[in-house]
Structure 1
Amino acid sequence: MPNIAKQLEISKKELVVATAAPSSPEKEILEAVKDVLRKKRSMMVIRSSISQWTQKELEEYEELIQLGDKIRCLKYDGLTFAVFFLATGKLPILARFNETMATSAFPFMLVSLAEETWMRGLLLKRLKEWRPEGPAPVMWSSLIFVLMHLPASSLMISQEISLLPLLLLSWSILFVWSAGLAAIVLKTGNLFGPIVIHGLDDFVSKVLYPLQI
């Protein structure tokens, strides 16, 4: 295995996404990740599926898990790829797809179906009736979509106020992303495209995204 610690060496101006594999983790990886976190050089840590860890591993890496919980705020908006790329100029590596992940795809498609039906279906339609001309329906529906995602981040901000600039960036990208989906609906007259895009985004960002740096 290559020297993970060296791979994680970055300048103070850079940010890094660090995650632990869902199976029993390599000690070298976790030690390197912990070192990065202690130096406040990490943008986000996704806590792994700790149900597969032994009690000894949980106790040994309790500090890592707690640190990861405090700064994994960008996981919730499904736009971590864009934020990560803008911050680092690099693209993260996806986890290898497997059968377990396949079973996780269906719930995400249901969530995207529900959100798109309400946001870009019912709400956008009503806003369009209210303001037939101009960008107001797209702007208002996108703003409401962003506001829906704020509660998931409020606890993170209360624990670590320094995360606010990153959250503002992610919310801005979320607004643009939502406006793009609304524009697709208005252009095509149906929700199929946004539902598929939304579902794939949630699945990639929350299931595939990433198990290595």
Structure 2
Amino acid sequence: MLSDLHLGHTIGRDELKKWVALINAEEADYIFVSGDVIDNDVRPLYKENIDELLSEFRAKNGVYAILGNHEYIAGVENSLAFFEKTNWRLLRDEVVLLPENIYVVGRDDKMNPDRAELSTLLEGLDPDIPMIVLDHQPVNFPTLAKLGEFLQFSGHTHDGQVWPYNYAAKSINGVSSGLWDFSNSQLLISAGIGIWGGKFRIGTRSDYRVVTFCQ
């Protein structure tokens, strides 16, 4: 699981090539991308043919992604048109049953005022089938966790990116980075493989998360 690439004027093709090699070396069954692939503008992505490079991410069974708030900042229609040029499967308030008998619930970002409630997406699903929820912003998770048993992949917080803003990120979102237990569900937050704003981190680290599922 990775999130918050923030590709655009600041982070471009050279860094993305390194990330592609890093992630592909994991030889993953799936890659899940928890939003904010785009920074603020799709134009530099077209200029550097970033769509072609994104399509070089390799997972045995595909790449699944959701939108983040920055896809809306860049213009959601522009962002959707850009993703159409990749080989990724973009989920917007959709549920997919993987061949391994695992649900993947991909939520649209909360910037969409019309996004479906999680309770609506979970209606009629078999509670005995393991579930992954992709939701960019990890807001209100303790309440959502009471709706069922699932593992949620989120990003957005950057773990504050610059100390001591990690404390602010935790205050705003309830949690900041890492794996957290609520009720019978778990929330895994990536601090982001990329960065936003100033091209630096102080007291925090960029990351992606490797998850092994055991039957």
TM-score, normalised to structure 1, is: 0.32
Q: Which has the higher strand share?
A: 2
TM-score, normalised to structure 2, is: 0.32
Structure of higher CA gyration radius: 1
RCO comparison, higher one (Cα < 8 Å, 6+)? 1
Q: Which has the higher helix share?
A: 1
